[in-house]
Structure 1
């Protein structure tokens, strides 16, 4: 299976500028405004108007970049739009501009992204737009495909740019009817800023609570507890309830014969690069520095489990798509994400076999991507999504059989999980809607307690410290999650705390 090429790595970063909601809003708004006025590009007065309008709107751009308006908070985004229309009710409304913006947005999300892009990248049908339009209109995640968040944002920004630019460029509004004064605009900005702050402070209350303090080290009972390899098999974007519905006999057998954490919580925001960064550093986005799939400054700011393993002469590898290179760098064995989705997980499994045969790492993390990609392209509540979970189950069974035959599975511990779930819409994940927050998570192996269900709430930040325990490595520098010791304790002998 091909590695991600240098071009694909750069292209993935560029795509995130359009895929992630925060950078998309200003890029799309400015782009639409310029395209709509393309015939005026040769007129110097247009650029004056554009510059003044953009300069005026910059504080509002910054405010909307800072605040996400997650989930139901996006419904409140229409009130600033109404407020602006009332405050500057005499402003000329160029309906062609707003119709163009809405039309281009729907074309970009429904056809270019949902059909053309997915057909070229993963082989979805040319008719995918017939379903994708429904997904865009009810999507709730933090991407550009969140129509209910993006529409009021860019319509208000276009209104401000167009109204302010015309006013300031025309001798302080001498030829316009609207009285767009600095005082009225400053009051409007202050009002929107206070409004957003109040909403987020009082209504945004579903962000998971962080673990206080750093991980308390746990000493293994025996040398054997850290003698075997560890495999972390991540089925990217697998919803917990859809896993329950799937015919996945191998994984469900392992779950029954191992230790399951029934309340395993993902991170906020629940984006793939964020979640993987937290899983393998043991800490939160505010510390490791990865706050979305759009990584502005490459590399995590703290130690990872891969750094910890190097300190004791052991090796870990993460097999995943190009996005993960942005945070984990050279510890990632990249795979190309440009392949038919029906072949993706099998190709990843074959690459995992090759890594074990050639490098024989002590820790191997494998990201299976087909389930997530199906949710994004076709929706998480359809049969195609469940089928990808079932295919992953069969492939993991095959992979474990190969590991056993090659001797790699002796004394090995397996962790099966998802990095996040998926909500309705285009497989949304980011704001912890229903289906995103709690993920399947269980462990299996000779040192794992059999038939145990841990009902207490835990977080994926516990993955890194648990791997440190299993592999006899020091904790990553900023690890905060507790070791998942419930999976290893016996009734007769508890672990000793250092």
Structure 2
């Protein structure tokens, strides 16, 4: 399987400008306005007029960049737009029609059909389903129609209104009315988010301190397999006998909570640093400054002469850098996870890392391209189950599991629509998470709420490494056997074939 090329890494970053909701809004508004006034751009005065009116609209653009209006709050976005229509009694129907047409062409045909066909082999007829997914989607991407439509309609309307008024001279504009309107929108946004945006997971206030690192490592290896975007309730519905047998014979954390925003690069960074976006610096898939501000578990392992590798998509390089072995995401989705598993075998054979993290991507990509409430999504979970069984049995044959812990989890779930994840809608917040191995309690279930930020310190505990510098998650000590029990069983052959 090919690594992600330099071109793919750059292309992935460029795509995030259009995929992530915050950068998409200004790009789309500016692009639409330029197209609408394309014939006017040959005149210098018209260009000055367009730029001047843009500056008048800019404060509102900043407000909408700061405030996401997540989940049900997006319903309130229509109130400022209706207020604009009442106050200024202005609506350019041609501009509105152009904007709506361009938006659905981009999301449904360019993104949902052409892009997914070329990248992962989705059918040319995907638009027949994708338009419904865009209308239902609730996540923090450009494909969230219920959030994007009222935002760009208001921004374009104010810009066009100011453009037409400036044509008659600045004296025709009532600047005070704009100031009052923007002040009202800001206060409206502030109060809504302050009073109603209350579903973010609680931040653990202290650094990891619930247990000391043991004098020597409990495990020789830890292997983490992340089934990207695997929704918890859909996993329960899937026929996944191997994974469910590991869960039954290991320790399951039934209330494992992801972080906010639940975007892939954010989640992986939190999982392997043990802390939150405000501290490690990665706040969306759009990474403006490469690298993290804190230590990762890979840094911790290096302090004790151990190695760790993460096999994953190109996006993760933006956060975790050279610790990532990239895989190309440009391949048919039906062979993606198979190719990743074959690459995982090669890395284990050639590099033999003490910590190895493998990201399977087909489930997530199916959710994004075809939706999570369809049979295709469950089929990808079932395929992942078979591939993980094959990989674990191969590891056992290679002697890599004599004293290892296997951790199976998802980085986030997915909501309805285009496999939405980000704002923690239903289906996103809680993820499958279970541990299995000779150092792990068998047949145990932990129902207390936990956080994925506990993954990094738990790995450090198992491998005898210091906790990452800003790790806040407590070690999942409830899953780990007492030392004397571990001593009695560590040489046993634990990873047996599931019947």
TMscore range, shorter length: over 0.9
Give the TM-score taking structure 1 as reference length.
0.96
Could you tell me whether the CA contact under 8 Å between 1:167 and 1:173 is conserved in 2? no
Match of 2:226 in 1: 234
Q: After TM superposition, where is structure 1 displaced by more than 2 Å over at least 4 residues in a row?
A: 217-223, 489-494
Match of 1:188 in 2: 181
Match of 1:121 in 2: 119
Cα distance in 2, alignment partners of residues 207 and 221 from structure 1: 33
Q: CA deviation at 1:45?
A: 2.3
Q: CA deviation at 1:87?
A: 1.1
Cα distance in 1, alignment partners of residues 325 and 63 from structure 2: 38
Match of 1:154 in 2: 152
Match of 2:191 in 1: 198
Could you tell me whether the CA contact under 8 Å between 2:218 and 2:439 is conserved in 1? no
Q: Is it true that 1:35 corresponds to 2:28 in the alignment?
A: no
Deviation per residue, 1:176-218 (Å, 9 max, x gap) = xxxx411100000000000001000111111000111100162
Q: Is it true that 1:339 corresponds to 2:337 in the alignment?
A: no
- The 1:481–1:101 alpha-carbon spacing in structure 2 relative to 1, beyond 3 Å, is same
Could you tell me whether the CA contact under 8 Å between 1:315 and 1:362 is conserved in 2? yes
Match of 1:67 in 2: 67
Cα distance in 2, alignment partners of residues 270 and 343 from structure 1: 26
Cα distance in 2, alignment partners of residues 493 and 418 from structure 1: 29
**Equivalent residue runs for 1:10-409 within 5 Å:** 10-89=10-89, 91=90, 93-172=91-170, 174=172, 180-216=173-209, 218-219=211-212, 223=216, 225-409=217-401
Q: CA deviation at 1:300?
A: 0.6
Could you tell me whether the CA contact under 8 Å between 2:264 and 2:411 is conserved in 1? yes
Could you tell me whether the CA contact under 8 Å between 1:268 and 1:430 is conserved in 2? yes
Give the TM-score taking structure 2 as reference length.
0.96
Cα distance in 1, alignment partners of residues 281 and 346 from structure 2: 32
- The 1:9–1:221 alpha-carbon spacing in structure 2 relative to 1, beyond 3 Å, is closer
3-state SS, counterpart of residue 163 of structure 2: helix
3-state SS, counterpart of residue 317 of structure 1: strand
Could you tell me whether the CA contact under 8 Å between 1:270 and 1:436 is conserved in 2? yes
How many residue pairs match? The answer is 486
Cα distance in 1, alignment partners of residues 214 and 444 from structure 2: 19
Deviation per residue, 1:312-341 (Å, 9 max, x gap) = 000000000000000000000000000000
Alpha-carbon RMSD: 1.4
Match of 1:177 in 2: none
Could you tell me whether the CA contact under 8 Å between 1:290 and 1:327 is conserved in 2? yes
Cα distance in 2, alignment partners of residues 305 and 212 from structure 1: 20
Match of 1:471 in 2: 463
Query: Gaps spanning 5+ residues in structure 1: where?
Result: 175-179
Cα distance in 1, alignment partners of residues 301 and 203 from structure 2: 25
Q: Is it true that 1:449 corresponds to 2:441 in the alignment?
A: yes
Q: CA deviation at 1:46?
A: 1.7
Could you tell me whether the CA contact under 8 Å between 1:269 and 1:432 is conserved in 2? yes
Cα distance in 1, alignment partners of residues 213 and 446 from structure 2: 20
Query: Gaps spanning 5+ residues in structure 2: where?
Result: 487-499
3-state SS, counterpart of residue 400 of structure 1: helix
Q: CA deviation at 1:342?
A: 0.3
